[in-house]
Chain A
Amino acid sequence: MLLEIERLTLHFGGLAALNGVNLSVGERELLALIGPNGAGKTCVLNCISGLYRPGAGQIRFNGQDVTGLRPDQVAQLGVGRSFQHVELFRQLNVLQNVLLGRHLHIRSSLILDGIWWGPARREELAHRRPVEQILELLQLDSLADRPVSELPYGVQKLVGIARALAMEPKLLLLDEPSAGMNRQDKEHLARVLLRIKELLHIPMLWVEHDMELVADLADRVQVLHYGQEIVQGRPHEVLRHAEVVRVYLGHSSAQN
């Protein structure tokens, strides 16, 4: 398993956000993490990427214990992520945002950057190539020089994924990529997810509220409720599970 989480707990004051969560993501796997609001889905992602420090439990990535590392250290090890509320650098254009994803791969120093000398210049140009390929893969290449703040929300979400892909991650964490998207945006997103999985072979841990997307694309689904896992398994089994329908889907959705 590429990512293994054991008995993860997280408290905010007296409130238990995560209560002994176990979770694992295998090579090339697309794991959807679903559950009601407040179930702790985003907390799991934030613990993995080092934004929260779990109270107990262990997170192993690629065989290495990453529990409690700083966000940039986790990123260095190969975990990329997108955010629920986009979190793009609004003053920069699409290309610069995605180029920032190359940060860890560019090896030049501040002084060399300042005088635009040798390696700084060569690298700066060389790293535009993979960025351009990613933009092409996500069909964002025509928007490269547009400021991100001018783009529709759905496109911004894709730029956030592109930025994470530019890191060449070994694991991609996606936090509700489809929130705020319309049907066309979602179809595009589905295409992007399948390309990431089939062409780049990057495994993904995917927090999602759109059950149609989850049912169509996920390899496996895990359901969280009040910081605890209640069910996991193949999408069609999990989404029919009585407990899941009761706490999460509601009755009218179950008819679909």
Chain B
Amino acid sequence: MAMDRHKKIGQKAHASSQAWPGLRRQGILQWLALALLLAFPFIVNPFLLDLANLIALASIGALALNILIGWAGLISLGHAALLGAGAFTVGIMIEEFGAPIWITVPAAAGMGAAIGFVVGLPSVRLKGLYLAVSTLALHFIVVFLGGEYQTHHNLSTGIVIPDPALGPFVLSDRRAWFYVLVLAAAAATVFSVNLLRTRTGRAWLALRDRDIAASAIGVNLTAYKLAAFVVSAAMTSFAGALTAYYQHFVAVEAFSFFLTIQYVAMVLVGGPGSIAGAIVGAAFVIALPQGVNLAISSLSVPPQLKIYTFAVNYALFGLLMGGFLLFEPGGLVRLAVRLWGRLEALLPTATAVELRRPGRAQGPLQLKDDAMAAFTTASSTTDCLLDVAGLTVSYSGLALAVDHLSIRVPAGSIVALLGANGAGKTTTLRAISGFLPTETARITSGTIRFDGQLLDGLAPDRIARSGAVLVPERDKIFATLTVEQNLSIVPTSAPSGNRRAALREAIATYFPILQERQRQLAGYLSGGERQQLAMASALLRDPRLLLVDELSLGLAPALVQELMRLLEVLRRELALTILLVEQNAAAALNIADYAYILSTGRLVKQGPAKELLADAAVQELYLGVSASRRSYRQTAVEQRQ
């Protein structure tokens, strides 16, 4: 039984880590595809055959770059140089010693690995743009050395490479090349798939996502970053060596910086991190110029305009890359998955969207349409500073995070939005403050009115300027600036200098600790001090409505009480209205006038804070009071029996 489940989990993991699950599916289709592949060189014209060969070559390079960019999260602009290094290794070895292919190609891969190691060294310390720039140096070194070799040996037009021979078999026919290259590309694919599903690949993904956590589970960051460079570079130079043989020719002009950009584009357009994406991206980038040429020649373009074909190519290339980066960072592969999902949803039987909705709350709490709702219905819209009506928010068009939520915040009140994690509290706050797009979520229905003005669809800065200011849960301060700088970069919303001075003074009064710490980097502040700095920054914007997200998270009990009391004072002194999203229901209810309780995106209870505090069901579910008053140890022991 245990073994059974063990197996099942194992299989699931395989399936999910395989970017190409179709590889495993048995069936007629597979055999058909194989037959088509074998027959391909004989059924297409030489032009298409050459294109297919170039795509196979490019996909090896793209898979290699995907390891670096997609998995290890390391950016390199030395790809053309590595292809060049592989090609020149072949060219020079043939020129100097007449070396055979079974020596030159492994030597080229070895050369790539060695260069990869050296180029990878800066990655131990550098990240992002700095790393990219440091790899750029490689490009110019290789181009320079290649050029020097060509001039000194009077090979200004390039090194000619003869057809490679393995024993009696000479590889000259493009059809034969097709099988060799497809085999090489398949090997690179299988190698990639295997790396991704084992320890090495996981370690790369780990250091890309969270390098601190990765090192804490024992991943040696230096070793794995270097390994990514070495493996990727070896594969790339291997592809470069094959290209040299295939093209019969090595010349330094072929390894321009544009080639590097093309390879980066293959990974980005295909979908970074995806094996299928690298291959699709390679095919796309190689075939695109040919497609453009074909289109232009089939249109009746006047001959004098045809010289602009290359410009069209470049422009289209740039547009596509920019477009994918902006609108579909998941690349062609994600785009295909999404379009397929749309198509399925259009079919009459499809109910997938409905099924993924989070389960409705069936707990003891049900919304009662009773007198308590006076807060929400009696007062007219104009009395409410914030009026959220029927708000529905969904993530990536699928899961509903907030489902027909209506809340009202009258001017001068403190209203709490409570519920467990995942209840949709923070999502609601993001919807109000305009930060939803950063989470790939959107409002699908409902309205948000602030002081009578519609807020939905406005950018966060517009919303903040209109007076609804968010104190975020995370990323609330600028860690590399001092406390003083953090406060001085807050854009002025206050109408007059007097008001701004008054706000400054209020901050000095209510947050004395910030005064003490003003010269310190905000990154060194404790959790409590950060929270106060974030509150102070928000206050400087002279808000009418303060939206506070999880004030208590990670704070000591005494400090939570203190900050909650401070909110009450600020409301009075600065005539604020406050919407408070809280996990710590007890602390919030102590200062709130009214509260709404959410569960899986839906409103399950609302009422005056005092009544909710006294409600037994609320106590049990949200205030952390155990109904039977048992200790944690007792519950733990009882559960086990």
A81 B621 Cβ-Cβ under 8 A: no
Q: Do A249 and B558 have beta carbons less than 8 Å apart?
A: yes
Q: Is the CB of A90 within 8 A of B209?
A: yes
Chain B residues contacting A12 (CB-CB under 8 Å) are 521, 524
Q: A15-B520, A36-B556, A114-B194 are in contact. Are A108 and B12 (CB under 8 A)?
A: no
Pairwise interchain contact A114-B636, C-beta atoms closer than 8 A = no
Q: Is the CB of B13 within 8 A of A145?
A: yes
| Distance A35 CA – B556 CA, assembled complex (angstroms) | 7
> Taking A113-B194, A183-B626, A187-B632 as contacts, is the C-beta distance between A163 and B556 under 8 angstroms?
no
Are B421 and A152 in contact, CB atoms less than 8 angstroms apart?
yes
CA distance A114 to B197 in the complex (A): 9
Interface residues of A in 169-205 (CB under 8 A from B): 176, 179-183, 185-187, 190-191, 194
How many angstroms between the C-alpha atoms of A104 and B218 in the bound complex?
Answer: 6
Q: Are A213 and B9 within 8 A (Cβ)? A: no
Q: When the two chains form the complex, which single residue of B205, B583, B636 contacts A182, counting CB atoms closer than 8 Å?
A: B583
For A90, the chain B residues whose CB sits under 8 A away are 209
> Which residue in B16, B206, B583 is a CB contact (below 8 Å) of A89?
B206
Residues of A within 8 A of B303 (CB): none
From A74, which residue of chain B is reached at the shortest CB distance? B216
Nearest Cβ distance between residue A100 and chain B, in whole angstroms? 5
Give the contacting residue for A100; candidates B203, B227, B624, B640; CB below 8 A. Answer: B203
Q: Are B554 and A209 in contact (CB under 8 A)?
A: yes
* Cα distance, A106 to B197, chains bound together (Å): 13
CB interface residues, A 39-59, toward B, < 8 Å = 39, 49-51
- Name the A residues within 8 Å of B527 (CB-CB): 37-38
Q: Once the chains bind, are B558 and A248 in contact (CB under 8 Å)?
A: yes
Asked whether any CB of chain B lies closer than 8 Å to the CB of A23, the reply is no
* Residues of A132-161 whose CB lies within 8 A of B: 132, 141, 144-145, 152-154
Interface of B is mostly: helix
| A95 near B217: Cβ-Cβ < 8 Å | no
With the chains together, A50 CA to B213 CA distance in Å?
12
How many residues does chain A have at the interface if contact means C-beta atoms less than 8 Å apart? 85
Given the interface contacts A38-B529, A128-B6, A128-B9, does A103 sit within 8 Å of B202 by beta carbon? yes
Check if A37 sits within 8 Å of B554, measured CB to CB. yes
Question: Is A180's CB under 8 angstroms from B16's CB?
Answer: no
User: Nearest chain B CB to A78's CB is how many angstroms away?
Assistant: 10
A113 touches B199 (CB 8 A): yes
- Asked whether A141 and B5 contact (CB < 8 A) given A37-B528, A110-B200, A128-B10, the answer is yes
- Name which residue of chain A comes closest to B419, CB basis: A182
Contact among B6, B191, B559, B633 with A36 in the assembled complex (CB-CB below 8 Å): B559
Interface residues on B, range: 35 or more
Knowing A128-B10, A182-B420 touch, does A72 contact B198 (C-beta < 8 A)? no
Closest to B17 in A: A96
A120 CB–B CB distance under 8 Å: yes
Min Cβ gap A221→B in Å is: 14
Identity of the chain B residue whose Cβ is nearest the Cβ of A123 in the assembled complex: B199
- CB pair B624–A182 under 8 Å, yes or no, is yes
Chain B, residues 1-36, CB within 8 Å of chain A (1/0): the string is 010011001101100110000000000000000000
Residues of A within 8 A of B421 (CB): 152-154, 180-182, 185
1/0 contact string of B526-539 vs chain A (CB within 8 Å): 11110000000000
> Which of A176, A209, A212, A248: most chain B CB closer than 10 A?
A209
Q: Which residues of B contact A92 (CB under 8 A)?
A: 202, 205, 209
B213 touches A37 (CB 8 A): no
A118 at the interface (CB under 8 A from B): no
- Given known A75-B217, A89-B210, A180-B421, contact A115–B191 (CB-CB < 8 A): yes
- The reply to whether A100 and B558 form a contact with Cβ atoms under 8 Å apart is no
A247 to B623, CA, bound (A): 24
What's the nearest-Cβ distance from chain A to residue B212, in Å?
Answer: 6
- List the 7 closest pairs (A to B, CB-CB), nearest first: A38-B526, A250-B558, A37-B528, A75-B218, A71-B215, A190-B632, A87-B213
**Complex A-B: 8 CB contacts under 8 Å:** A15-B520, A116-B190, A154-B421, A182-B621, A186-B624, A216-B633, A217-B633, A249-B557
